[in-house]
């Protein structure tokens, strides 16, 4: 079967029909034959293996037991009756329970004859039970086994309601193999298959859906995972190579007087080694004739701003303008003030452009930008407006990139005929495991060192019951002249409710910390921008001691005198958010604290998150834990990268296969960059098909 007939709509498969086709489409995204063969089982059950009753575990799913029913009886319960059978093997006994269909069971069940039962076990009062087991006489069960490993496909409630059970999917898969004779076009090259001892495509497809043995299943899984990761990497790496070849960039070959003057006379501290290394990496990019597209990762407080500033000075030294875009006004203001101070006496023109800048002031900025009198522009989204035209923008820096989308990034590209160099800075560390697969097309620099003299933030977990002690602690810190953040969760779906939490919290804190001794700021998303600025300003200038806020303060806010971060309902926050919030303190010379408040009811996962926060301040370590807990789905950038749409490989568990795939892609592109060799035609063709149909990897970026 050629690969185009795998594009046959699924409705034509015998046994599907329009109704099922629609359900398969809406529930599993299956539109074509191809989509169906790429529906891979989540797991397999070995139908030849039986559990002994004394081996059962609490709450295990998919348990198969061989035994006999010795008794059956009805038991009265609050509402109606349940039917309970005693089921025994040579190691013990358990119960089978029915709430529905009791009459039929009673009439049809045979006592003292071997049955195979299958289902999920519960454990009550010292006895295992299985509600509504699937059951079969042992004789029939063994006749029916064709394959030892029974695949279990992804399912949804709607699928089972519409009668598309696992058995049905299995049947459809068989039908597909009949219609295609199980021949699938090879998608990897001969040398790769040989070198890695991979199964052929057809053999792998057969064994993933109808495994003949555990060994063959493992080989099939390896081959298909490798293939999937191979093509994702091929796409990422070719894109990167293409960009380097095609996209010419301004050549900043000079390190001039401004940079040197700043470095020698104005830099208020010694750069850390990590900062020096990153600046060197950036300089290499800027002098390479190709456009820079670099991601700068560094934990909160690692000193990214100074790197950004020095990169901008390089642009100016080479006769270009630079801009720095931040996700919020608060942050843009802060950058502007900080950078202005650092540059005082350097002779550089710098301006701030945000939504609140008045029209007349704006006009001046526009003019000075176009004439080139303005060297650095700092601001928010306002920078993206069409009216903002540079004379020669050479460098665009984006801070805290997770707040901006790809589209916005590309808007910056088009401010000139040649795209400016782009530096994206983020404080949300991407675990090393993921960075490679996510950002294969971006270059990455990491600041993995904090400036010297920082005292690690002390983090503790406290239950709500200890609130009085926490408040006493706050009073002591305020007495010492420190300031306090108290943060409430804000989760979009229940914004009204969260808002209420915040206001209740504010009211209760106002009672415990009354005027005139205490002044409190409040900050949340529903305030007008002027009010936000006002509240923020009062806190920054020390007029208020306590800032009650939602997560709007999460990003970038810098108030060095604030040394205590209290996070209410901390169990409701994700790890990376907790870490970002904690990063708001620990910015001054004083010992800082982070107090995670929760109720007593905690899920195991919430407990792990809190323990992780208490144990470590290292953003990368936290990101690794986060990745293990949540999978890659919620991490920044994953939506754009396609790793989410992996059909069979797992970006975390299959990291070794990923590395192998990456290695082979690099080797391939080195030896045969445009895939012209005869032996590589199959790869070129498959790659073209993937891009054309986008049905295996919905890879867009
Ligand atoms: P972030 O990476 O979170 O954006 P910032 O750039 O805001 O961090 O830096 C945090 C603080 O550390 C700032 O007050 C900055 O002046 C200071 N800082 C940065 N680099 C150094 C350094 N090498 N030595 C001492 N202090 C530094
Ligand atoms: Mg920053």
CATH number, domain with residue 101: 2.40.50.140
Locus of tokens 């099939």: 220
Query: Ligand 2 mean position to 211 CA, how many Å?
Result: 52
Phi, psi of 192 (to 5 degrees): -65, -45
The DSSP symbol for 400 reads S
Is the CB of 306 within 6 Å of ligand 1?
yes
* pLDDT at residue number 638: 43
Ligand closest in space to the Cα of 307: 1
Residue 575: name the closest of 522, 525, 615, 523 by CA.
Answer: 615
In a domain, 296, yes or no: no
Is the CB of 427 within 6 Å of ligand 1?
yes
In a domain, 362, yes or no: yes
Is the CB of 297 within 6 Å of ligand 1?
no
**pTM recorded for the entire structure:** 0.66
Name beta bridge partners: 521: 547
Q: Residue 560 in 3-state DSSP?
A: coil
Asked if 62 and 97 sit in the same domain, the reply is yes
Q: How open is the CA angle 535-537-543, to the nearest 5 degrees?
A: 85
Task: In whole angstroms, give the CA distance from residue 322 to residue 343.
Answer: 14
Asked if 69 and 166 sit in the same domain, the reply is no
Is the CB of 651 within 6 Å of ligand 1?
no
Query: Ligand 1 mean position to 305 CA, how many Å?
Result: 7
Is the CB of 324 within 6 Å of ligand 1?
no
301, 428, 446: residue to mutate for ligand 1 pocket, most atoms within 8 A of CB: 301
Domain end, chosen from 559, 585, 616, is at: 616
Residue 549: name the closest of 588, 584, 592, 516 by CA.
Answer: 584
Asked if 391 and 343 sit in the same domain, the reply is yes
Ligand closest in space to the Cα of 306: 1
Asked if 176 and 319 sit in the same domain, the reply is no
Q: Which domain holds residue 686?
A: 184-248+624-701
- CATH number for the domain harbouring residue 507: 3.40.50.300
Into how many domains does the chain fold? Answer: 5
Residue closest by Cα to atom 4 of ligand 1: 304
Ligand closest in space to the Cα of 300: 1
In a domain, 451, yes or no: no
C-alpha dist (Å) from residue 331 to 305, 309, 556, 609? 12, 15, 6, 28
In a domain, 437, yes or no: no
Ligand closest in space to the Cα of 298: 1
Asked if 437 and 232 touch (Cβ cutoff 8 Å), the reply is yes
In a domain, 162, yes or no: yes
* pLDDT at residue number 455: 84
Sheet holding 122-124, edge to edge: 122-124, 127-131, 92-98, 81-89, 63-76, 115-119, 134-137
Q: How open is the CA angle 16-17-19, to the nearest 5 degrees?
A: 105
Task: In whole angstroms, give the CA distance from residue 94 to residue 328.
Answer: 61
Q: Residue 130 in 3-state DSSP?
A: strand
Asked if 152 and 139 sit in the same domain, the reply is no
Q: Residue 155 in 3-state DSSP?
A: coil
Asked if 177 and 196 sit in the same domain, the reply is no
Asked if 206 and 177 sit in the same domain, the reply is no
**Per-10-residue mean pLDDT for the chain, 701 residues long?**
73 94 93 94 85 85 90 90 94 92 89 91 87 86 72 83 84 94 95 97 96 91 96 84 76 90 94 96 90 87 93 96 90 91 93 92 95 96 89 91 58 72 83 64 82 89 94 96 91 59 88 93 84 88 93 72 95 88 87 95 92 92 82 50 67 84 93 94 92 47 28
267, 270, 305: residue to mutate for ligand 1 pocket, most atoms within 8 A of CB: 305
In a domain, 473, yes or no: yes
Cα 641 vs. chain centroid, distance in angstroms?
A: 10
Asked if 274 and 401 sit in the same domain, the reply is yes
Asked if 562 and 482 touch (Cβ cutoff 8 Å), the reply is yes
Is the CB of 300 within 6 Å of ligand 1?
yes
Name beta bridge partners: 116: 66, 136
Asked if 133 and 154 sit in the same domain, the reply is no
Domain end, chosen from 163, 181, 199, is at: 181
* pLDDT at residue number 337: 92
* pLDDT at residue number 526: 80
Domain end, chosen from 616, 634, 665, is at: 616
What does R_g of the chain's alpha carbons equal in angstroms?
A: 31
Asked if 264 and 387 sit in the same domain, the reply is yes
Is the CB of 619 within 6 Å of ligand 1?
no
Is the CB of 271 within 6 Å of ligand 1?
yes
Q: Residue 72 in 3-state DSSP?
A: strand
Asked if 479 and 328 touch (Cβ cutoff 8 Å), the reply is no
Q: Any idea how long the chain is?
A: 701
Is the CB of 301 within 6 Å of ligand 1?
yes
Name beta bridge partners: 393: 321
Residue 392: name the closest of 315, 326, 307 by CA.
Answer: 315
Task: In whole angstroms, give the CA distance from residue 302 to residue 278.
Answer: 12
Q: Which atom of ligand 1 is nearest to the CA of 399?
A: 4
DSSP codes, 428-472: SPPPHHHHHHH-TTSEEEEE--PPTTPPPPEEEEEEGGGHHHHHH
Q: Which atom of ligand 1 is nearest to the CA of 275?
A: 23
Task: In whole angstroms, give the CA distance from residue 48 to residue 54.
Answer: 18
C-alpha dist (Å) from residue 242 to 9, 132, 337? 34, 58, 39
Is the CB of 557 within 6 Å of ligand 1?
no
Q: Does the bond joining 665 to the residue before it have cis omega, within 30 degrees of 0?
A: no
Q: Residue 508 in 3-state DSSP?
A: helix
Asked if 367 and 274 sit in the same domain, the reply is yes
Task: In whole angstroms, give the CA distance from residue 523 to residue 540.
Answer: 13
In a domain, 352, yes or no: yes
Task: In whole angstroms, give the CA distance from residue 411 to residue 436.
Answer: 25
Task: In whole angstroms, give the CA distance from residue 302 to residue 351.
Answer: 25
- CATH number for the domain harbouring residue 29: 1.10.150
| Count of CA atoms in the C-beta half-sphere (13 A) of 599 | 5
Phi, psi of 464 (to 5 degrees): -55, -30
Longest pairwise C-alpha distance within the chain: 96
In a domain, 433, yes or no: no
Residue 125: burial class (beta carbons within 10 Å; 0-12, 13-18, 19+): exposed
Residue closest by Cα to atom 20 of ligand 1: 303
Asked if 279 and 232 sit in the same domain, the reply is no
Q: Residue 602 in 3-state DSSP?
A: coil
Asked if 396 and 412 touch (Cβ cutoff 8 Å), the reply is yes
């Amino acid at each position: 079967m050629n690969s185009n007939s795998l594009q046959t709509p699924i409705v034509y498969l015998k046994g599907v029909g329009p109704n099922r086709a629609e359900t398969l489409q809406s529930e599993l995204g299956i539109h074509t034959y191809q989509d169906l063969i790429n529906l891979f089982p989540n797991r397999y059950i070995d139908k030849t293996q039986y559990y002994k009753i004394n081996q059962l575990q609490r709450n295990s799913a998919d348990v198969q037991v061989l035994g006999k029913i010795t008794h059956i009886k009805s038991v009265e319960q609050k509402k109606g009756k349940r039917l309970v059978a005693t089921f025994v093997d040579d190691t013990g006994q358990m119960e089978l329970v029915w709430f529905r269909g009791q009459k039929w069971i009673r009439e049809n069940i045979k006592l003292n004859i071997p049955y195979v039962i299958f289902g999920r076990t519960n454990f009550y009062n010292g006895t295992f039970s299985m509600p509504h087991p699937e059951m079969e006489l042992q004789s029939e069960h063994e006749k029916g086994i064709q394959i030892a490993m029974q695949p279990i496909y992804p399912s949804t409630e709607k699928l089972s309601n519409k009668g598309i059970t696992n058995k049905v999917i299995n049947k459809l898969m068989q039908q597909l193999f009949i219609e295609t004779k199980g021949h699938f076009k090879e998608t990897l090259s001969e040398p790769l298959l040989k070198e890695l001892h991979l199964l052929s495509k057809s053999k792998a497809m057969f064994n993933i859906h109808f495994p003949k043995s555990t060994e063959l299943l493992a080989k099939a899984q390896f081959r298909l995972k490798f293939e999937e990761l191979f093509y994702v990497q091929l796409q990422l790496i070719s894109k990167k190579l293409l960009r380097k070849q095609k996209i010419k960039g301004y050549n900043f070959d000079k390190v001039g007087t401004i940079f040197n003057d700043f470095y020698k006379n104005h830099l208020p501290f010694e750069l850390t080694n990590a900062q020096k290394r990153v600046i060197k990496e950036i300089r290499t990019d800027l002098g390479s004739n190709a456009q820079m597209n670099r991601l700068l990762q560094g934990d909160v407080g690692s000193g990214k701003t100074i790197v950004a500033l020095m990169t901008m000075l390089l642009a100016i030294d080479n006769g270009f303008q630079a801009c720095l875009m931040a996700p919020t006004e608060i942050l843009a203001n802060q950058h502007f003030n900080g950078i202005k101070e650092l540059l005082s006496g350097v002779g550089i023109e710098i301006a701030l452009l945000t939504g609140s800048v008045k029209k007349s002031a704006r006009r001046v900025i526009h003019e000075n930008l176009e004439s080139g009198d303005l060297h650095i522009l700092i601001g928010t989204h306002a920078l993206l407006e069409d009216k903002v035209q540079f004379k020669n923008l050479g460098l665009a820096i984006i801070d805290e990139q997770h707040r901006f989308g790809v589209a916005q990034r590309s808007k910056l590209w088009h401010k000139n005929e040649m795209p400016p160099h782009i530096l994206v800075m983020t404080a949300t560390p991407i675990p090393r495991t993921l960075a490679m697969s996510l950002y294969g097309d971006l270059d990455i620099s990491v600041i993995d060192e904090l400036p010297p003299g920082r005292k690690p933030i002390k983090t503790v977990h406290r239950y709500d019951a200890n609130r009085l002690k926490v408040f006493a602690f706050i009073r002591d810190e305020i007495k010492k002249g420190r300031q306090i953040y108290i943060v409430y969760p804000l989760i979009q779906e229940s914004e009204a409710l969260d808002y209420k939490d915040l206001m209740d919290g504010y009211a209760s804190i106002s009672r415990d910390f009354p005027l005139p001794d205490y002044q409190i700021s409040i900050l949340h998303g529903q305030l007008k921008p002027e009010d936000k600025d006002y509240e923020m300003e009062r806190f920054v200038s020390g007029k208020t001691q306590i800032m009650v806020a939602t997560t709007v303060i999460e990003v970038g806010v810098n108030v060095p005198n604030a040394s205590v971060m209290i996070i209410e309902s901390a169990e409701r926050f994700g790890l990376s958010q907790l870490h970002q919030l904690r990063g708001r303190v620990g910015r001054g010379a004083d010992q800082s604290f982070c107090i995670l408040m929760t109720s007593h009811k905690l899920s195991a996962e919430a407990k792990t998150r809190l323990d992780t926060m208490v144990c470590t301040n290292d953003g990368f370590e936290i990101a690794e834990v986060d990745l293990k807990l949540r999978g890659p789905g919620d991490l920044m950038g994953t939506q754009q990268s396609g790793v989410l749409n992996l059909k069979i490989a797992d970006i975390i568990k299959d990291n070794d296969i990923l590395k192998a795939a990456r290695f082979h892609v690099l080797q391939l592109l080195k030896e045969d960059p445009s895939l012209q060799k005869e032996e590589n035609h199959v790869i070129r063709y498959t790659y073209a098909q993937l891009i054309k149909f986008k049905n295996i990897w919905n890879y867009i970026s």
